[in-house]
């Protein structure tokens, strides 16, 4: 915690209402970009404490929670991967990069399938809270180096470890060459992020499609999770007639990979894959298309114009006039 | 503000696990396990039998199901005790009707409080597993080795004496352990534990006192978790248990035997409105060919006898 006063707004993006935006056209004229982001994580047995967040609810070692997470790396990941293979989805792995050192076998299986790796910090039990900016830059360097060394890939995406952030995080991610962040849930389309350098975009990830939120916070049954995935898809697919949308399904193999959960999930993604207008893709590919089709520039211009609207009329009525 | 330099140092960042208790192993790459008579599924029913002391401490944490109202909490003390007076007998009768043998994970103190309960479990032909001393005595790293050893020895002693069984299985209250727990369990003659939730098959754990087998026990399809943590209906519990079985059963055709664990609580599934849901689950599982039911200790022994790699 710094001694600076708290802010009332993130200040990372400007408002742009959903109707009448510049049209996004995905490759092949697909209506919706669907990407699946498995969080392949390593939680430490005996992690150090952080004053802002204690890693485990019980004193170290919290063997029940630790072993529950470990289930994902012994058993769950295989079921999840098999379900994604059957539906023709590649993963965009939200990776605790230390997993490259601990479980290279899992990394290889993902790499062999052409999956993308993006960074989810070093361990899910190490947060960026209370780090200074140079310490946080060190984590970013570590992530780039580790993923390059083990997979040959250059990182494009970032999801902060356990969704912990500082106000400078987006600036230093962009400065390091990160192209998209998954930490903000304010839209169903990629959106420019206001950073000091570079063209960082906010990639639609999702809190409400995220299995950990669905199962553990919303207390939803596995079969109902399958239903809400399909409903989320149906709506975004329909709206994709007007302009390209993005749907992300964030996963955790220790949860969705449990025997009592995998089939309902598998059925839902096969349902999605059965639609012609679906672009089954990855975070990196969506970011690339967003730039190459001019969507980033068009959206930036629309945001600037909207927020520069006549003061007396107000931005909201300016938006309505375009109808 | 910054964090100490050590926060960005990772001494256990290397191949495999970040501790020495066991090796990493991929469930789907192991040599197939063969159960007796070629069974595909070993059905392991574990009934929790628990005593929540009225004055149970809240530090360092409470085990799930703990009393939560201001002292004296008549409400939850008696609701949990219902399981020991009534609920368990409903479950015992149902198991008897089905000819099933289960493990009963019993707080040691119950052996001295309710000897009739122990007798009924033993007479039913079931296995007694030690479930710590009582639900207020959680195991954690703040306990001295000496104090933790005393709790383990007392719990095992009470249950061994009352049951006449060897009592070689262990389930910690709240499935909680300290750094020393596996070493102390092995030292006290425990051969397998049910605390770790990371596998669908048994595997070997290292201790200072020899091998301890980690037996699989589902976490999220436990009747108490579904009812009291997820607030889902009994029908939802049944569906998830059936779905869990279906996937394990299917996998057993390609990958060898699996363990289907069914953790239940005498004060949850022993309720009048819940016990028939338990019957539904058991009927469903038993309607399949190749299901072998045995207490967890027998399943563990079969696993070891087959010389299965960890």
Q: Measured between CA atoms, how close is A191 to chain B, in angstroms?
A: 31
Give me the pLDDT at residue B11, please.
97
- Bridge-based pairing state of the strands B210-214 and A116-119: unpaired
- The separation between the first and the last C-alpha atoms of chain A, rounded to the nearest angstrom, is 46
Q: Measured between CA atoms, how close is A61 to chain B, in angstroms?
A: 6
> Which chain B residue has its CA at the smallest distance from A77's CA?
B26
Give me the pLDDT at residue A3, please.
64
B196 within 8 A of A67, measured Cβ to Cβ: yes
Delineate the domains of chain A, giving CATH numbers in brackets.
Answer: 30-292 (3.20.20.370)
Residues in CB range of B70: below 8 A, 6 or more apart: none
Query: Choosing among A125, A221, A267, which should be mutated to test the B contact, i.e. which has the most B CBs within 10 A?
Result: A221
| Residue among A60, A219, A259 minimizing CB distance to B231 | A219
pLDDT tens for A201-214 read 999 999 999 999 99
Q: Is B295 exposed, middle or buried (0-12, 13-18, 19+ CB in 10 A)?
A: buried
- How much is the average pLDDT of A34-62? 97
| Residue among B2, B141, B200 minimizing CB distance to A59 | B141
Residue A101 and residue B196: Cβ atoms within 8 Å? no
CA dihedral A46, A48, A50, A56 (to 10 degrees): 10
| Residue among B1, B24, B243 minimizing CB distance to A1 | B1
Lowest average pLDDT, out of A294-303, A306-315, B108-117, B250-259, goes to A306-315
ipTM for the assembly: 0.97
Residue numbers in B near A263 (CB within 8 A): 243, 246-247
A241 upstream amide cis, omega within 30 of 0: no
Q: How many helices (H) and strands (E) does chain A have?
A: 13, 9
Give me the pLDDT at residue A314, please.
47
Give me the pLDDT at residue A323, please.
33
Confidence of residue A312 (pLDDT cuts 50, 70, 90): low
- How much is the average pLDDT of A91-114? 98
H/E element, B261? strand B258-265
Fold of B41-305: TIM Barrel (3.20.20)
Give me the pLDDT at residue A321, please.
39
Rounded CA-CA distance A136/A178 in Å is 14
- Nearest Cα residue to B47 out of B121, B111, B116: B121
Residue A259 and residue B10: Cβ atoms within 8 Å? no
Give me the pLDDT at residue A162, please.
87
Rounded CA-CA distance A183/B237 in Å is 33
Query: Choosing among B141, B198, B230, which should be mutated to test the A contact, i.e. which has the most A CBs within 10 A?
Result: B198
Domain residue spans of chain B: 41-305
A86 within 8 A of A270, measured Cβ to Cβ: yes
Average pLDDT, chain A: 95
Residue A139 and residue B8: Cβ atoms within 8 Å? yes
Rounded CA-CA distance A320/B6 in Å is 55
Q: What is the pLDDT along chain B (310 residues), one digit of tens a residue?
A: 899 999 999 999 999 999 999 999 999 999 999 999 999 999 999 999 999 999 999 999 999 999 999 999 999 999 999 999 999 999 999 999 999 999 999 999 999 999 999 999 999 999 999 999 999 999 999 999 999 999 999 999 999 999 999 999 999 999 999 999 999 999 999 999 999 999 999 999 999 999 999 999 999 999 999 999 999 999 999 999 999 999 999 999 999 999 999 999 999 999 999 999 999 999 999 999 999 999 999 999 999 988 655 4
Give me the pLDDT at residue A4, please.
78
Rounded CA-CA distance A89/B226 in Å is 31
> Which chain A residue has its CA at the smallest distance from B258's CA?
A259
Structure tokens at B123: 């007479």
| Residue among A48, A67, A75 minimizing CB distance to B196 | A67
């Amino acid at each position: 915690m710094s001694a600076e006063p708290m802010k009332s707004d993130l200040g990372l993006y400007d408002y742009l209402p959903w109707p009448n935006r510049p049209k996004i056209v995905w490759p092949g004229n697909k209506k919706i970009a669907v990407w699946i982001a498995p969080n392949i994580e390593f939680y430490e047995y005996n992690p150090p404490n952080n004053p802002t967040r204690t890693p485990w609810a019980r004193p170290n070692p919290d063997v029940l929670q630790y072993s529950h997470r470990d289930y994902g790396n012994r058993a769950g990941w295989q079921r999840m991967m098999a379900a994604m293979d059957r539906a023709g989805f590649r993963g965009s792995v939200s990776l605790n990069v230390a997993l490259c050192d601990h479980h290279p076998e899992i990394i290889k299986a993902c790499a062999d399938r052409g999956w993308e790796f993006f960074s989810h910090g070093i361990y899910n039990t190490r947060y960026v809270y209370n780090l200074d900016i140079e310490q946080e830059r060190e984590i970013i360097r570590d992530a780039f180096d580790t993923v390059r060394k083990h997979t040959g890939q250059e990182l494009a995406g970032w999801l902060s470890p356990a969704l912990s952030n500082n106000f400078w995080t987006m600036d230093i991610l962009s400065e390091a060459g990160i192209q998209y962040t998954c930490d903000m849930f304010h839209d169903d389309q990629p959106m420019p992020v206001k950073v000091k350098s570079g063209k960082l975009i906010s990639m639609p990830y999702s809190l409400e499609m995220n299995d950990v939120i669905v199962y553990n916070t919303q207390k939803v049954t596995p079969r109902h999770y399958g239903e809400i995935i399909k409903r989320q898809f149906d709506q975004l697919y329909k709206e994709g007639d007007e302009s390209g949308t993005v749907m992300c399904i964030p996963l955790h193999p220790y949860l969705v990979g449990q025997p009592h959960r995998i089939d309902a999930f598998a059925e839902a993604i096969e349902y999605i894959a059965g639609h012609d207008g679906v672009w089954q893709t990855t975070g990196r590919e969506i970011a690339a298309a967003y730039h190459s089709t001019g969507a980033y520039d068009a959206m930036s211009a629309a945001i600037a114009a909207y927020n520069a609207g006549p003061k007396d009329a107000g931005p909201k009525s300016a938006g309505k006039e375009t109808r | 503000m910054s964090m100490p330099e050590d926060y960005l140092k990772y001494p256990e960042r290397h191949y495999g696990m970040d501790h020495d208790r066991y090796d990493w192993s991929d469930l789907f790459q192991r040599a197939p396990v063969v159960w007796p008579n070629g069974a595909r599924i070993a059905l392991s029913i574990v009934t929790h039998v628990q005593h929540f002391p009225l004055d149970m401490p809240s530090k360092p944490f409470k085990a799930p199901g703990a009393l939560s109202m201001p002292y004296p909490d008549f409400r939850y003390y008696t609701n949990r005790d219902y399981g020991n007076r009534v609920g368990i007998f409903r479950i015992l009768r149902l198991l008897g009707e089905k000819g099933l043998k289960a493990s009963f994970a019993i707080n040691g103190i119950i052996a001295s409080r309710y000897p009739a309960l122990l007798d009924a479990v033993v007479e039913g032909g079931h296995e007694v597993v030690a479930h710590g001393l009582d639900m207020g005595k959680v195991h954690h790293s703040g306990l001295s080795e000496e104090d933790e050893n005393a709790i383990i020895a007392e719990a095992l002693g009470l249950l061994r004496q009352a049951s006449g069984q060897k009592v070689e299985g262990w389930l910690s209250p709240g499935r909680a352990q300290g750094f020393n727990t596996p070493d102390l369990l092995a030292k006290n003659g425990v051969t397998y534990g049910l605390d770790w939730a990371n596998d669908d098959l048994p595997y070997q754990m290292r201790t200072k006192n020899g091998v301890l087998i980690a037996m699989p026990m589902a976490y999220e399809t436990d009747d108490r978790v579904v009812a009291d943590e997820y607030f889902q209906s009994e029908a939802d519990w049944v569906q998830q248990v059936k779905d869990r079985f279906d996937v394990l059963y299917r996998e057993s055709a390609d990958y060898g035997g699996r363990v289907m664990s069914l953790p239940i609580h005498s004060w949850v599934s022993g309720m009048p409105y819940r016990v028939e849901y338990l019957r539904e689950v058991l009927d469903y599982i038993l309607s399949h060919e190749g299901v072998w039911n045995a207490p967890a200790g027998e399943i563990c022994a079969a696993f070891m006898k087959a010389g299965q790699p960890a």
